[in-house]
Amino acid sequence: MNRIFWTSIEYTYDSDHSSNEELFGGFVYAFVISTNDKEAQNKFIAALGQQKISAIEVHFITPYPDNMEWENQEQTKHYKTLFEKAEKTQDVIFDTFYAYEKS
């Protein structure tokens, strides 16, 4: 049975990524349709790799709850929209990439 899984991943830019000079890495939420968490993880890691980004740490991979509430209505709506996009494609749907600048 397919479900929407979501994750939080810390990442770093590969040496040949265009942002590697200025940015160290960061974290991102992502959503994907999958049959289980292992398959979802493989999809998340592969999608990052296509963007020349490597995962440092996967914080969690779990089915996204239908009744998930965030800090406010705007955030709840935003993440519900990403969830709905993931329902319509086999592609990984990324949220905003939050990046850390190199010091």
Q: pLDDT of 79-96, one tens digit each? A: 999 999 999 999 999 999
What is d(CA 83, CA 64) in angstroms, rounded to the nearest whole number? 8
Q: How confident is the model at residue 24 (pLDDT cuts 50, 70, 90)?
A: confident
DSSP-derived secondary structure letter, 38: H
Counted domains in the chain: 1
Single pTM value for the model:
0.92
State residue 37's pLDDT score: 95
- Per residue in 32-58, pLDDT (tens digit) is 999 999 999 999 999 999 999 999 999
Give the residues across from 100 on adjacent strands.
25
Instruction: Tell me which residue range forms the domain holding 37.
Output: 3-101
Query: Residues 73, 77, 82, CA angle at the centre, nearest 5°?
Result: 150
- What average pLDDT does the segment 20-34 reach? 93
